[in-house]
Each structure stands twice: as structure tokens, then as C-alpha cells.
Amino acid sequence: MRYAQGGGFTPQEQRRREEVRLSAAVMFEQGVTNAAVARTLRVTQRSVERWRRAWREGGTAA
């Protein structure tokens, strides 16, 4: 099932999710492993894998 734009989150929740993704991008630049990023940010490793793939393809803006 797909969610509407924004995943059904409030604007505040969307901002928080974006902050987490940006923190992950900083960690990617530092060479931190996916497992360590997931543990630090308390997210799934699958999410981190998806974010890293987007980051590799488009940088932090992705």
C-alpha cells in the first residue's frame, strides 16, 4: 500500500524525517557503515540502504 504525498505524516513529522535523512547523509560522507547509521539513528538497515542508494545517485539533495 502506498501513502499519499508525505506518507501521512504531519509537516512536523516530515521535517523530523528529513533531519534524520540528512544526518544519515553526513554519516555516509564520513564512511560510516549502514549498520552503524541504522543503530545511531534508530531506523531499519533497509531504510539506510535506500537512503544510501539515493545519496550515491544524487548526493545530499536526493
Q: What is the mean pLDDT of residues 45-62?
A: 89
Could you tell me the CA-to-CA distances from 24 to 1, 7, 16, 61 in Å, in that order? 26, 19, 13, 12
Q: What is the mean pLDDT of residues 13-39?
A: 96
Which residues have a Cβ under 8 Å from the Cβ of 32 and sit 6 or more positions away? 40
Percentage of the chain lying above the pLDDT 70 cut: 84
Q: Are 38 and 47 in contact (CB under 8 A)?
A: yes
Does CATH place domain 11-57 in 2.40.160?
no
Give the single-character DSSP code of 1.
-
Burial of residue 27 (CB within 10 Å: 0-12, 13-18, 19+) is buried
Q: What is the mean pLDDT of residues 9-33?
A: 94
Evaluate if pTM is beyond 0.85.
Answer: no
